[in-house]
Structure 1
Amino acid sequence: MAKIDWKPGTMIYPLPAVLVSCGETPEEYNMLTIAWTGTICSDPPMCYISVRPSRHSYDIIKRTGEYVINLTTEDLAKATDWCGVRSGAKFNKWKEMGLTPAPATIVKAPIIAEAPIHIECKVKDIVNLGTHDMFISEVVNVIADDRYLDEETGAFSLKKSEPICYSHGHYFKVGEPIGKFGWSVEKKKKKKK
């Protein structure tokens, strides 16, 4: 098997495909699709989104210092794609996609009611990186739709929510689990006789 060098690029795939909602008032509420997002610290809980300054939502997030990361599902796949290729400056994405803005608990930005998880964020720093600026943010609250909680453990069920991810210009379903954290070193339980 031969290895081939490519020019430097963003080859960390797959990525979560999320809808980020923003705005302080219903008149300016907007959402945009983001694939460049992730966790950067667990205590305090922090995450990031990277946004092009040319995006309509960029100025809203920069001015308000708040946004909500809404995880997406197979049911939200069309809206996720559409909101990534249409501008909130020209379209009311909420009406066009039939989605519902609902109040968040802490931030003024709305949640997308149809999403299974809403991560409320407050911007702590903005780092210019070139084509994108990274909004480094503290997670101030997480709202979970109880339809997607495991009845036995109370944990969020990825299988029930049917999340999607993004890779090289395509959206994909998330597959079946292959193990849990630590399974590779877990000691086998002895069978009782």
Structure 2
Amino acid sequence: MKKSLGAKTLVYPTPVLVICTYDNEGNPNAMTAAWGGICCSSPPCVAISLRKATYTYGNLMDKKAFTINIPSENYVREADYFGIVSGKMEDKFAKTGLTPVKSDTVDAPYIREFPVNLECKIIQVIEIGLHTQFIGEVMDVKIDDTIQEDQPIIEQIQPLIFAPDSRNYYVIGKQIAKAFSIGNEIG
């Protein structure tokens, strides 16, 4: 038996993504967003959805570029801070001590201390309702030089996830199976 909860945004896991942009004066800004993820594999694209009221929204519309920065569990406080303070009011990088680095491929900064950074150019903007979806083509991915590519990157960085129902942060758990292989056992 199932019970109805009504129309809600309950999808698990929801990633914790820190979106970085430059404003018109070239100042770096960071904003935490949970509404986002992969939306195409060829070309590689990601989608993020933001409200028009955010400072980042204007930066995205002006610069047509952003980076997605994936924080490890070591940066949960900074990721939370980026989501509750407006870049219009404070220099978030100065306050957190994190380092904005100019992207090599797009007009947006990335966060040096976060282990994974995706440099994206906006290829489509879709008005949905309360949120606007920005589809960004991934132009480059940078990973910390301590990450070993022959091991699961996800286990090395321990990315944060967000639970929209409880409004809590979590980290990824253990591997339980190899994808695209165990389904063959059915039938």
CA deviations on 1:57-114 (whole Å, 9 max, x unpaired) are 1101111000000011111110111110110011110011111011212012111001
2: CA distance between counterparts of 1:114 and 1:186?
A: 41
Which of 151, 161, 166 aligns to 2:162? It is 166
Partners of 1:19 and 1:72 within 8 A in 2: yes
Higher strand residue share: 2
Larger Rg computed on CA atoms: 1
* Residue identity opposite 1:37 in structure 2: G
What TM-score, normalized by structure 1, do the two folds share? 0.89
What TM-score, normalized by structure 2, do the two folds share? 0.92
**TM-aligned CA distance change 1:61 to 1:156, over 3 Å:** farther
Equivalent residue for 1:177? 175
Partners of 2:24 and 2:62 within 8 A in 1: no
Partners of 2:52 and 2:58 within 8 A in 1: yes
Tell me by how many angstroms 1:156 deviates.
5.1
Partners of 1:24 and 1:109 within 8 A in 2: no
Q: Report sequence identity in percent.
A: 29
* 1:26-65 matches, cutoff 5 A: 27-65=26-64
Equivalent residue for 1:141? 140
* 1:89-100 matches, cutoff 5 A: 89-100=88-99
Equivalent residue for 2:17? 18
Matched, 1:101 2:97: no
* Structure 1 residues without counterparts, runs of 5 or longer: 188-193
- Describe the SS at the equivalent of 2:134: strand
Partners of 1:104 and 1:120 within 8 A in 2: yes
Equivalent residue for 1:72? 71
Tell me by how many angstroms 1:119 deviates.
0.6
Partners of 2:23 and 2:29 within 8 A in 1: no
1: CA distance between counterparts of 2:24 and 2:147?
A: 29
Tell me by how many angstroms 1:185 deviates.
4.3
Partners of 1:99 and 1:113 within 8 A in 2: yes
Give structure 1 regions of 4+ aligned residues with deviation exceeding 3 angstroms: 24-27
Partners of 2:39 and 2:45 within 8 A in 1: yes
Tell me by how many angstroms 1:183 deviates.
3.2
**TM-aligned CA distance change 1:107 to 1:36, over 3 Å:** same
Tell me by how many angstroms 1:163 deviates.
1.0
* Structure 2 residues without counterparts, runs of 5 or longer: none
Partners of 1:24 and 1:108 within 8 A in 2: no
